[in-house]
Amino acid sequence: MPAKNNVEVLCVNNLLAHAMVRLDEDSVHYLFKQGIEQGIDSLTLLEEARAGVQKVSELYNCGKYFLGDLIVAAELFQDIACMALETTMAPTTSGLPPIIFGTVEEDIHDIGKNITIGILKSKGFEVDDLGVDVPPLAFVDAVRQTGSSVICLSGLITTAYDSMKKTVSLLDREGLRPGVAVVIGGLVSEEVRRYTGADYWVKDCTTGCQLCDAILHSGPVKKAVHL
Ligand code: B12
């Protein structure tokens, strides 16, 4: 087994991220609860834990951690994401058409998607969760059926970029593109946004939720931006 207590992990300098890197379940749970008790915002704590997952990924990439370690980190993160969502306010419904959300075709990463959906729901938005590995046609069908004006595409692997592009193209071919704002998130950038033809890209769920809120309540904000 790789050593998880060595000095390399000390470059992550906050306790929660550090516990995540050590895959220390008890400490992760304890530190998260302690943070909440101290009044730290649950999303701030989640972002700290995400830094830990990122470090686990780097250690996996250089052969110091195994795939099993990556899976444990992902599960640990899911645990505290559930705890975080329990601490947010009770949902009320907005009465607006749902936000269509899915991880695009060929990609099965869903932790970030699930967190973002949980936050959107806790803020009262209706969300139609299409799941993972979602083909372009399923997004198009969902827009037709619900009249939604916001589609959120999540993708963390490079092949996801082509799936995002195909989804945007199909919306265009079906004549639905003008009425729909496409938001991409995950491992994305302005370059990826341009490649896919999406309207917005975001790096984190908090910005993503603010953006959806702004689009749904005030119509599309300035297009083609990263907020
Ligand atoms: C956990 C993980 C896994 C888990 C996934 C478990 C699950 N249920 O999702 C497992 C172990 C199964 C897995 C599998 C694979 N993985 Co993986 N995985 C990761 C890892 C370590 C963390 C991802 C994660 O969950 N982060 C925590 C969440 C909270 O962060 P997040 O997803 O970024 O989401 C945040 C925001 O981006 C935002 N968000 C996310 N989506 C969206 C969408 C919208 C619209 C909005 C508004 C916001 C939003 O919300 C979140 C909170 O802010 C990443 C490394 C990394 N740096 O990301 C690699 C990584 C993504 N995986 C990678 C790879 C290669 C794979 C595999 C192909 C490995 C393999 N050889 O089989 C398979 C994927 C198979 C497939 N077809 O999809 C690569 C991708 C490289 C690339 N450029 O293509 C990465 C980058 C690791 C690496 N090598 O560097 N993986």
Please, is 67 exposed, middle or buried when counting C-beta atoms within 10 Å of its C-beta (0-12, 13-18, 19+)? exposed
The minimum-distance atom of ligand 1 relative to the CA of 61 is 89
194: which residues sit within 8 A by CB, 6+ positions away? none
Atom 68, ligand 1: which residue's CA is nearest? 157
Task: Say if strands 181-186 and 127-129 run parallel, antiparallel, or are unpaired.
Answer: unpaired
> What's the CATH number of domain 7-86, 3.40.50.1220, 3.40.50.1370, 1.10.1240.10, 3.40.190.10?
1.10.1240.10
Fold classification of 99-226 (topology level) = Rossmann fold (3.40.50)
| Residue recorded with tokens 């830094």 | 51
Evaluated on CA atoms 64, 67, 72, 75, the torsion sign reads positive
Provide mean pLDDT across the span 215-227. Answer: 60
Pick from 99, 109, 192 the residue to mutate for probing ligand 1's pocket: most ligand atoms within 8 Å of its CB: 109
Instruction: Report the alpha-carbon distance of residue 61 to residue 167 in Å, rounded.
Output: 30
pLDDT tens per residue across span 92-112: 666 788 999 999 999 999 988
Ordered by start, the domain boundaries in the chain are 7-86, 99-226
Model confidence band, residue 13 (pLDDT cutoffs 50, 70, 90): very low
Structure token digits, residue 38: 């101290």
Distance from Cα 126 to the centre of ligand 1, integer Å: 25
The pLDDT score that the predictor gives to residue 91 is: 57
In this chain, the answer to whether the domains covering 7-86 and 99-226 adopt an identical fold is no
pLDDT tens per residue across span 165-204: 999 999 999 999 999 999 999 999 999 999 999 999 998 8
pLDDT over 70 for what percent of the chain? 87
Closest by CA position to 197, among listed 227, 158, 159, 223:
223
The radius of gyration of the chain from alpha carbons, rounded to an integer in Å, stands at 18
Model confidence band, residue 89 (pLDDT cutoffs 50, 70, 90): low
Task: Say if strands 200-202 and 225-226 run parallel, antiparallel, or are unpaired.
Answer: parallel
Distance from Cα 121 to the centre of ligand 1, integer Å: 22
| Residue recorded with tokens 């695009």 | 104
Provide the mean pLDDT of the chain.
Answer: 85
